[in-house]
Structure 1
């Protein structure tokens, strides 16, 4: 009798657990973190597609970084959308221990949630001397494309073009991710002119292409490059990955897509094939901002 009471109590305790996340495979089979780590450890490039204000994403990014470093040591490289290419010197100096956190904040354009969400990653890189790459295009150039189109970048000085993917840039607006942007902006109630909508998608593409460019520029054979970015930049193996594949189609790439769902225990069919691994997080998870 006592055994059954203990068993019932254990089952009740299990049933009352409220998991903060659940990983699923590309085909929506539940998998554990160790499976994700194993696949990431064998990859050339890993994309952790985050939700920028989600604490579970940021915590798991740090755990994956720590665990990959424990396996790979000097064979691990880091890169992030959150740092723009023209701030590379400031980022490198801080990671190398040459500047203080206050100096870094003055020298680089840091996101408003840097201290809570990204500083732990950067400080881990600093503590362990892990190279970290500022992969994103400077925002002012993406804004220029959104307003004036890609041709506006042609007149930039050569030195400034070094912070952007090589021009001219091919943008396939029929790719599902970019097409979804166009459809959203050209809906029944949209007031955006067709060319404005196309330029908005091209601004997204210049970010994707630039991140791909700096990943390839810094990646070395035999290493794993772990990249942090908004999930939409790598969902459906598009965005950054499409540009990577144009240059190096044989790269082994692992992607993580983050989604918020009502119940982490129930895979959402809409997320099938979204990424190598789908990270389901409760929709009511507290936010960092």
Structure 2
């Protein structure tokens, strides 16, 4: 696998064992190919300067998460990915943002590829036509969505415009990541070709569909694909071509997940961050927060992005108090969130 130009490491985003396997695999590949570049699906292209500063050692973890807008662009717990980010920084391995803005794929899902202006495509070229088998796979995913374009997916067939646009959005997503990976090879000097590793969702990797298919269309053929699988999976059902190799990853025993620390859903509005929802009986409700409140400051620091709030709450030690100021209508209120002690 270390002789490949590009290696794709799939994942289920929320599975801690998959990220531990990715870290181990990265370390093994790095021993054989220390000239390495790591691409992450979790970051849109505009975050590239932040990734560069992180690898250079210029940012703290909190600064990195805030400036990359992690809570907005990815939303999965940063703790799952931080060991990978630290590995890259420790070894001065360049990190590359593979993704595009969610607004682009949403626009294609609504109206189709051709309806999106070139200026809004973030430089992504027209995707290669997907195989019939990939279309079947995408249709199963499509049917798992409750509604698309205001219509129930159970009422929509493969010939519907909604599914066609959905497929175009998915293949544009694949294409964007493939282009970002292939560009790293194109930019390398003769005789100094790096090993480019992609950390991306397994659905973009499996069966040679998705990103591998788009890479082949771009002229990158020396590509490896590795996937983690549940060890309880029946091996007889693993069909040829799923990946170059699969790894049975024992699940990590987990206790009951802790409840949300605050119990709110945030949304960014002009001039700040608004509480779109406040969960009943949550810490937020008991602290006096209400739906519609706009957070002005936390611990005296102005709040302009949802990521500021998420990072502050995540890093607040148990048993401490966090003062905040909110606007409720024309009124400005000073409140205090009292985090309970560690149980």
Same fold at TM > 0.5: yes
Q: Distance in 2 between matches of 1:129 and 1:261?
A: 34
- Indicate the SS of the match to 1:70: helix
Q: Distance in 2 between matches of 1:206 and 1:260?
A: 29
Q: Displacement of 1:127 after TM fit?
A: 1.4
Q: Higher helix fraction: Structure 1 or Structure 2?
A: 1
1:17-166 counterparts in 2 under 5 A?
39=1, 41-73=2-34, 75-110=35-70, 111-154=74-117, 156=119, 161=121, 163-166=122-125
Q: Displacement of 1:279 after TM fit?
A: 2.2
1:243-282 counterparts in 2 under 5 A?
243-249=214-220, 251-262=221-232, 267-281=235-249
TM-score between both structures, scaled by the size of structure 1:
0.74
Q: Rate the CA distance shift 1:230–1:184 in 2: closer, same or farther, 3 A.
A: closer
| CA shift digits 1:193-220 (9 cap, x unpaired) | 6111111111111110000111111223
1:6-25 counterparts in 2 under 5 A?
none
| CA shift digits 1:38-57 (9 cap, x unpaired) | x2x11111000111122221
| CA shift digits 1:111-168 (9 cap, x unpaired) | 3334221111111111111001001121110111111111232253xxx54x3422xx
Q: Distance in 1 between matches of 2:112 and 2:3?
A: 39
Instruction: Name structure 2 gaps, 5 residues minimum.
Output: 145-151, 258-343
Q: Displacement of 1:242 after TM fit?
A: 0.9
- Indicate the SS of the match to 2:225: strand
Q: Distance in 2 between matches of 1:68 and 1:229?
A: 17
Q: Higher strand fraction: Structure 1 or Structure 2?
A: 2
Q: Distance in 2 between matches of 1:130 and 1:287?
A: 34
Residue equivalent to 1:235: 206
- Conserved 8 A contact 1:48-1:61: yes
Q: Distance in 2 between matches of 1:52 and 1:173?
A: 24
Give me the CA root mean square deviation: 2.7
Q: Distance in 1 between matches of 2:77 and 2:168?
A: 27
Q: Rate the CA distance shift 1:287–1:62 in 2: closer, same or farther, 3 A.
A: farther
TM-score between both structures, scaled by the size of structure 2:
0.63
Q: Displacement of 1:283 after TM fit?
A: 7.3
Q: Displacement of 1:252 after TM fit?
A: 1.6
- Conserved 8 A contact 2:127-2:214: no
| CA shift digits 1:24-46 (9 cap, x unpaired) | xxxxxxxxxxxxxxx2x111110
4+ residue segments displaced more than 3 Å: 183-189, 281-289
Higher relative contact order (CA 8 A, sep 6+): 1
Aligned residue pairs: how many?
A: 240
Residue equivalent to 1:23: none
Residue equivalent to 1:177: 134
